[in-house]
Amino acid sequence: MDYKQTAAEILKYVGTEKNVAQLEHCSTRLRFTLNDQKKVNEEKLKAVPGVMGVVRSNQFQIIIGNDVVEVYDALLKMIDFNHQTTPAVPAEKQKLSKTALDFLIGIFQPLVPAIAGAGVLKSILILLVAMHVMDDGGALYKILVSISDATFYFLPMMVAVTTANKLKSNRLVAIAAVGVTLLPAVTTMIADGTTLFGIQLQNIAYNAQVFPAILCVSFLALMERLMNKVSPKPIRIFFVPMIALAVTVPVTLLFLGPLGYNVGQIFTAAILFLYDKLGFVALTVLSAILPLMVATGMHKTLLPYALATYGELGYEMLYLPASLAHNIGESGACFAVALKAKDETLKSTAFSAGISAFMGITEPALYGVTLQNKKVLYSVMLGGGITGAFLGLLSVKAFAVVGPGAASMSMFIDSTNGMNIVWAIAGFVLALVSSFIFTLILWKEETPAAAAAAASGKPLEGSHDVLNVLCPIDGQVVALDQVGDEMFSKKALGDGVAIIPEVGELRAPADGTIQMVFETKHSLGMTTANGTEILFHVGLDTVNLQGKPFTPRVKAGDRVKAGDLLLKFDIQAIKDAGLDPITPVVVTNSQDMNVVVVKTGQANQHDIILQTQRKEG
């Protein structure tokens, strides 16, 4: 990759330097804070060499993979953050759940490098001691292991910084506020039993706690905003932090700290209760669905749980073992694709992604291979589920919070149970081999002719089983990547299009049989004569409407003709509920069918929007 050229093209298509307010990166993604996301040219971005995909959220994320640091460094040389003059466009309103998720991810994502580095170091030290290469009583060991201990002990301070960044609060004042909870004099006073304003302070060890720090800085940010409004400008520089700290720290020790601590305790207890009652079932399910959680960013919500559990118990036995099953499963699947693929680009991409996943970094594999091929995704989920069940049945524990991979397997060494690491290694092999075999059996490479037709958008030819799919709803036909739900936009459910409806009527796009009408009536599925399986999903998150705006005119098992009315729906009611009525039309068995988008733009029920044809072999 020419990093300079890639960076230049990325900068051009995100709206130039003037549109970039902030830039950071994680292990595989560039994370842009943009003044106006509407200036982004997504189609051009996806065509830039080295770009694996894009994700829209509060931050605009560009997936690069293993070369992200080099591209990031090249970008920094092209952007002058000291001369930003373009005012930020107000962000569009989001649902509370998405806002909360973005908030949590924004706090914990920047912590990953420090946590991962400290975790891998500790796992290596555990291995060296177990092999009697290093003495755990020696000065060098104690200093090195203190790096990991300090990272987690002072985790509240790091959370204070990331929370302050997220809330645009003063980071140093946030550190001062949270630092009080770790001050030896304060911790001793709390342990000895102290009352404040007649209220007994709860005896809490705040080290390694994340929720109290988040609540503390959130309250501090509110106090700063309030004080900035009332403070005289000449004394604002000391008056605002003085009053904000003087109010926030007592409130934290009296109410917010205990609230955050107890929430964390309840959260951890609930997860462990689920694990105790369901045993390996919980780990099986989590391991199987982790590819979908990682694709949507939902896995980041498990990091607070893992940190809280590790801080409380000294080990974790759900999320990290499940991550082992998923990470190595991705690796095995990619190696199978690399072995089986004839296309040189796919072969090299899969091999590189497989090595990254082998070491614990899965996003190149997930976005570059797995989500592009549904049967590879199924193989990873099957292998992950089987491995999760194995690890759950044997109660494998992780003793460092780090992404599991070949370099960090010593995180599973248990000084009181020598078999823990043995079973973890067995799980590593099981995930690698099972996903590899499933992929070899299930995945077939698309023929070059079909791939070229799909890429060019030219009509399919040469067989009587070519199906013309008519537009099922009058409206504006757009590409799936315009859908604000990654399960559709990333084509995890299959290829197709989406329609911005202008008429609240869904009609059959071809002759076929209704296979499913979802109980909340917002979604239908049908199979056509040539075996094309089509899913219609009217609106995003419309499952929450419990069927109110929808009136189905068919039921499962009904045979329909092209043009038959399948469903009536109230577009305005969907919009009034704050939801997007955009309707994905997806071929869910795209792994078996060649799918070509024939038409986008304005269309009605007489227009052909897709063509499908069963793949050869």
Specify the pLDDT at position 457. Answer: 47
Specify the pLDDT at position 175. Answer: 95
Q: Is the pLDDT of residue 89 over 70?
A: no
| Nearest by Cα to 112 from 65, 66, 162, 180 | 162
| Nearest by Cα to 108 from 280, 287, 298, 310 | 298
Specify the pLDDT at position 369. Answer: 82
Residue 468 sits at φ, ψ, to 5 deg, of -90, 120
Specify the pLDDT at position 492. Answer: 75
In the numeric block, which tokens belong to residue 348? 């090299």
Between 374-393 and 319-340, two packed helices, what is the crossing angle to 10 degrees? 140
Distance CA 250, CA 220 (A): 11
Specify the pLDDT at position 446. Answer: 60
Specify the pLDDT at position 459. Answer: 53
**Strand pairing partners for 34?**
20
**Residue 451 banded pLDDT, cuts 50, 70, 90:** very low
Q: Who has greater pLDDT, 279 or 551?
A: 551
Specify the pLDDT at position 530. Answer: 84
Q: Who has greater pLDDT, 369 or 308?
A: 369
High-pLDDT (> 70) share of the chain, %? 87
Catalytic residue ranges: 26
Specify the pLDDT at position 462. Answer: 47
CB atoms within 10 A of CB 599: 14
Q: Is the pLDDT of residue 463 over 50?
A: no
* Average confidence (pLDDT) over 281-298: 78
* Average confidence (pLDDT) over 386-410: 89
* Average confidence (pLDDT) over 20-41: 83
Q: Who has greater pLDDT, 462 or 277?
A: 277
Q: Is the pLDDT of residue 186 over 70?
A: yes
Specify the pLDDT at position 390. Answer: 95
Q: Is the pLDDT of residue 57 over 70?
A: no
* Average confidence (pLDDT) over 451-465: 50
Q: Is the pLDDT of residue 108 over 90?
A: no
Q: Is the pLDDT of residue 323 over 90?
A: yes
| Type of residue at 13 | Y
Superfamily of domain 460-614: Glucose Permease (Domain IIA) (2.70.70.10)
Specify the pLDDT at position 96. Answer: 59
Which of 1.20.58.220, 3.40.50.1820, 3.30.1360.60, 3.40.980.10 would CATH assign to domain 3-77?
3.30.1360.60
Q: Is the pLDDT of residue 23 over 80?
A: yes
Q: Is the pLDDT of residue 319 over 50?
A: yes
Distance CA 379, CA 367 (A): 15
* Average confidence (pLDDT) over 51-59: 76
Mean pLDDT of the chain: 84
User: Using CA of residue 491, residue 303, residue 319, residue 399, what is the dihedral sign?
Assistant: positive
Distance CA 587, CA 508 (A): 14
High-pLDDT (> 90) share of the chain, %? 35
- What is the number of residues in the chain? 617
* Average confidence (pLDDT) over 137-144: 90
Specify the pLDDT at position 267. Answer: 63
**Residue 119 banded pLDDT, cuts 50, 70, 90:** low
Beta strand pairing status for 505-507 and 512-517? Answer: unpaired
| Nearest by Cα to 401 from 128, 113, 116 | 116
pTM exceeds cut of 0.85: no
Specify the pLDDT at position 279. Answer: 66
* Average confidence (pLDDT) over 230-235: 86
**Residue 456 banded pLDDT, cuts 50, 70, 90:** very low
* Average confidence (pLDDT) over 285-293: 84
Distance CA 396, CA 414 (A): 10
**Range from 1-10, 292-301, 476-485, 555-564 carrying the lowest mean pLDDT:** 292-301
Specify the pLDDT at position 87. Answer: 46
User: Under 8 Å CB-to-CB from 48, ≥6 apart: which residues?
Assistant: 6, 9, 10, 13
**Residue 460 banded pLDDT, cuts 50, 70, 90:** low
Q: Is the pLDDT of residue 261 over 70?
A: yes
| Nearest by Cα to 165 from 510, 470, 173 | 173
Distance CA 18, CA 83 (A): 9
Specify the pLDDT at position 301. Answer: 61
Q: Which residue stretches of 341-418 are H helix?
A: 344-358, 363-368, 374-393
Which of 245-249, 401-405, 411-415, 416-420 is most confident?
A: 245-249
* Average confidence (pLDDT) over 240-263: 91
Specify the pLDDT at position 472. Answer: 95
**Range from 126-130, 190-194, 567-571 carrying the lowest mean pLDDT:** 126-130
Domain extents for the chain?
3-77, 98-279, 306-448, 460-614
* Average confidence (pLDDT) over 389-399: 92
Specify the pLDDT at position 546. Answer: 84
Beta strands in 77-205 (DSSP E): 195-196, 199-200
